[in-house]
Amino acid sequence: MKTVAIVTAFPPSAGSLNEYGFHLVKAFASRDDIKKIIVIADKYDGAAPELELDPKIDVKRVWRFNSPFAGLHILKALRASKAEGALYNLQTASFGDSEIPAALGLLTSAVTQKLLMPSGVIMHNLVEGVDLSKTHLANNPIRQRLVSTASYFVTKTMLLSGFMTVTLDSFWDILKKKYKADNVFMVPHGSFSSDAHVIPQLTHRSRTLVTMGKFGTYKRLERTIGAVQNLNLSLSHAEKIKLVIGGSDHPATPGYLAALAKNYKTDMNIVFHGYVAEEEVASFFTQARLAIFDYDSTTGSSGVLHQAAIYGTPAAYPMMGDFIDVTKREGLTGFNFKPLDQSELEASIAECLSNLDAAQSHADNNLVISKGVTMNTVASIQLQLLRKTKSGRFNQLRNTKNSALHIRETYCSPATLKM
């Protein structure tokens, strides 16, 4: 298998998982046994130019978020690509925040497997692992029930793909127990490359905090901003804390960040950076002594948390849901606080800034762990699964009780999948 198609949101893009898609594609391109990668990507209307990429990589922007025809455009592009296998990088809202386009897009991987070529899915979340009452459906219980019901049939169909990998133990448990799936594996999220950037010690960084994501639903900023402002009330001008907010609105909450920026425009310590381009990610994290993750709920292993880790920035996050899973399974550490509790968040920030030894210990620990499972390892595992699917030997693997690919306490080596 020399030519692979990867279906993903891809930078420059406001689509979820576009950063993960970029690093996954880079990892595939770094392999000598891969000659060409066709990226079947989302269309982007912004002004940012396309990235300069390895000559192996060919980006085809063919689908739009919330379009019910995204799947058709993807299938057409895959057929024209003459790829030998397709890998989908997905979460439940990859193709839309409206039920119909979201569901239709997610079904495409199974159609690809049945009609075109071997296909696999990296699934970053499941509806069963999301508290819908804390999403953009919070005020619509009827839609919550509809989504919960429909998601079972969508997931069941997606499992007709050659294989599915997930990044958390809890998701693997759901797919094995509820769906009786025999072609699912738990593969780590993987850490993004720091591209040899110099990672300064925390003592060489300013009293800056960062937070990044798509804001407005379960990721909101009011508590974080309130915590920083409260702490700054008792600090001298030289000790003031700066909060830099990177990212964009969640598609379901357009205008959220603009309204906040207007409300806090007189506070020079609250900075709205906007979209963080790929070439800005390193400087965004290395400017900060702490990365904050103040979520109402979780929807999967956090890519931003792994980015903070690889750039030596300690994190403050609530001990809930997927953060507990990542902490216990991967060994990441940080300053923890009670969910939805601004006073505890303030205490975590204060502790980080006043105890740089502890903060540096967290940063060093996470940096070491993040280098242990790189995107190159993840890409190797995904490629071997695609090859097994194409050869037909994958059926032999999934019909046995072999669970070598299921990674809990230890991570598997690519050699585990040797043909």
Q: Where are the domains of the chain?
A: 3-190+374-417, 202-372
Residue 12: DSSP 8-state: S
In tens, the pLDDT along 366-412 reads: 888 877 778 888 999 999 999 988 777 655 555 444 444 444 333 44
Q: Is the pTM of this model over 0.85?
A: no
Alpha-helical (H) ranges within 331-374 are: 342-354, 356-372
Q: Note the pLDDT of residue 407.
A: 41
pLDDT value of position 398: 52
> Which residues, other chains included, contact 388 with Cβ-Cβ below 8 Å and sequence gap of 6+?
394, 397, 417, 419
In the chain (419 residues long), the average pLDDT of successive 10-residue segments reads: 95 86 94 96 85 94 96 97 96 88 95 96 83 58 71 92 88 90 86 73 95 88 96 94 93 90 95 87 93 82 80 90 74 90 95 95 89 85 90 58 42 43
Which of the following CATH numbers is that of domain 3-190+374-417: 3.40.50.11540, 3.40.50.10540, 3.20.20.80, 3.40.50.2000? Answer: 3.40.50.2000
Q: pLDDT value at position 393?
A: 65
CATH topology agreement for domains 3-190+374-417 and 202-372: yes
- Reading phi first (left if > 0) and then psi (alpha if -120 to 50, else beta), residue 17 is in left
Fold classification of 202-372 is Rossmann fold (3.40.50)
What would the two tokens of residue 350 be? Answer: 């204060």
The SS3 call for residue 215 is strand
Look up tokens 């019901």; give the residue: 149
Q: What is the pLDDT of residue 1?
A: 82
pLDDT for 7-20, tens place per residue? 999 998 878 889 89
Q: What is the pLDDT of residue 342?
A: 95
Residues with Cβ within 8 Å of residue 66, at least 6 apart in sequence: 95, 96, 97, 98, 101, 251
